[in-house]
Structure 1
Amino acid sequence: MSRAEAERRGRRGEVLALWWLRLRGWRILARRVKVKVGEVDIVARKGRTVAFVEVKWRRDAGLLGDAIDAHRLRRVARAAEMLAPRYAKVGDDVRIDVILVAPRTWPRRIANAWQPGA
């Protein structure tokens, strides 16, 4: 698969993740937010929780287990740390979530996927 095709499918996975979050009561605050240390695919809020969401798409659900690792999560966590003051209010819970997407499967969310020091 070409890089352009992978990018297109990844964007489609992000759209699926957006709708999946919306259907579960999350309000989407932002998409594809870039800062100098990285990028966050989705910023969403539900009640007093703000989630910085990394979306990973794979063409085979069997490959989703290797889609996210500590290196990628650290990059998202650094970006979320810079972005939190923009989206979170005092007293909000802030977390890093991952949504794994593959064809013909329901999206799988890993809530609070990153802990400092992990």
Structure 2
Amino acid sequence: MNRLAAEKRGRRGEAIAAWFLRLKGWRIVGARVKTPRGEVDLIVRRGKSIAFVEVKARTKAADLATAIDASRLRRVAAAAEILLPKYGKECENMQIDVIMVAPWRFPKHLPNVWHG
């Protein structure tokens, strides 16, 4: 049951993150895109920029501080490498973003967090 609740929370967090990014002018071009190297929660474009977004949803805002680490970002970056030719045509800028979602909090957007 715990796993199902976490899955539901994650999907809800991704929906909130997608809504939030649309309000900031981004267009969703992919969601839950799987590759052999990992999964990207959201792929978004705005103008000539593309962002591969990792969404972290937690039941407590305090837990968001430990929700993301370098190994998770490496996985997203590796998946983004595979996906860039398909989704990033004509893009000049590519970035890895994180969006953190907790109940009763505005989503926190951390743009361009990966420089590895």
Q: Do both share a fold (TM > 0.5)?
A: yes
Aligned amino acid, residue 89 of structure 1: K
Partner of 1:9: 9
Q: Structure 2: how far apart are the matches of 1:90 and 1:30?
A: 16
Partner of 1:35: 35
Partner of 1:68: 68
Across the two proteins, how many residue pairs are aligned to each other? 116
Q: Structure 2: how far apart are the matches of 1:83 and 1:91?
A: 13
Q: Is the partner of 1:14 in helix, strand or coil?
A: helix
Moved over 3 A (4+): none
Q: Structure 1: how far apart are the matches of 2:112 and 2:31?
A: 19
CA shift, 1:91, in A, is 4.8
Q: Structure 2: how far apart are the matches of 1:67 and 1:92?
A: 29
Matched, 1:115 2:107: no
CA shift, 1:48, in A, is 1.0
Q: Is the partner of 1:42 in helix, strand or coil?
A: strand
Note the alpha carbon deviations across 1:59-111, whole angstroms, 9 max, x for none: 00011110000000000000000000001124520110000000000000110
Q: Name the TM-score, length of structure 1 as normaliser.
A: 0.95
Aligned amino acid, residue 53 of structure 2: V
Q: List alignment gaps of at least 5 residues for structure 2.
A: none
Partner of 1:87: 87
Conservation of the 8 A alpha-carbon contact between 2:58 and 2:102? yes
Q: Structure 2: how far apart are the matches of 1:69 and 1:9?
A: 20
Q: Is the partner of 1:94 in helix, strand or coil?
A: strand
Q: Structure 2: how far apart are the matches of 1:89 and 1:19?
A: 24
Identity across matched positions, percent: 55
Partner of 1:52: 52
Q: Is the partner of 2:89 in helix, strand or coil?
A: coil
